[in-house]
Structure formats: structure tokens, C-alpha cells
Amino acid sequence: MTKLMEWLAAAALLGAAWLTLSFDLLGLSLPEPWRRLVWPLPVYLLLIFGCYALATVGFRVATLRDCEDAARELQEQIREARKDLSRRGLTF
């Protein structure tokens, strides 16, 4: 199962639970304070997911490692490409 399918399955499960509780499809008759808590729950979960995504991206950017060997190799390839293009008549 791909990560997308896992997230979609979780969203479908949470959405079905929310619909069931919000519209009283099972006849549970939740008390009014619980109904007021359940109704804005998708918005709260969306905000929490956004914060999680932002924190994850920030952490991964902050802990990104330097690849000095790959950078040197890439610079060498760029020099070789420029030499080759200069031989073919392209000016920089």
C-alpha cells in the first residue's frame, strides 16, 4: 500500500466517523457539548496536519546534509560541458 493510499484510507475512515457522529446516523444522540466539539473537528485536524507538515519540512531542511563530493563532481561536469560547448562555438 502506497503512502497516498494510507493517507486516503485514514481520511476516509475519519470522514465516515465524523459524518456518523455529526449527523447522528447511528442514533447515538450525543449530548450537546459533544456535538459542538465534533462539528468543527475537521478544521482542527486540518490545522494540526498543516502544522505537522510545516514542522516536518522545516526539520528536514534544517538537517539537510552537505554533499561536498557530489558538488565537486557536478562542478567538474559543468566545466567539461562548458569546454565542449566552447569548442562547438557557443560563447558564455
Structural domain count, the chain:
1
The answer as to whether 8 is a domain residue is yes
Task: Read off the C-alpha cell for 42.
Answer: 475537521
pLDDT in tens, 22-38: 998 888 888 999 999 99
The answer as to whether 9 is a domain residue is yes
Task: Read off the C-alpha cell for 68.
Answer: 561536498
Of 52, 25, 20, 50, the closest CA to residue 38 belongs to 20
The answer as to whether 29 is a domain residue is yes
Print the domain residue range for 19. Answer: 3-63
pLDDT for 92 beyond 80: no
pTM over 0.85: no
Of 40, 42, 22, the closest CA to residue 30 belongs to 22
In contact, 18 and 42? CB cutoff 8 Å: yes
In contact, 25 and 19? CB cutoff 8 Å: yes
Handedness of CA 78, 79, 84, 88 (dihedral sign): positive
Q: What percent of the chain has pLDDT over 90?
A: 80
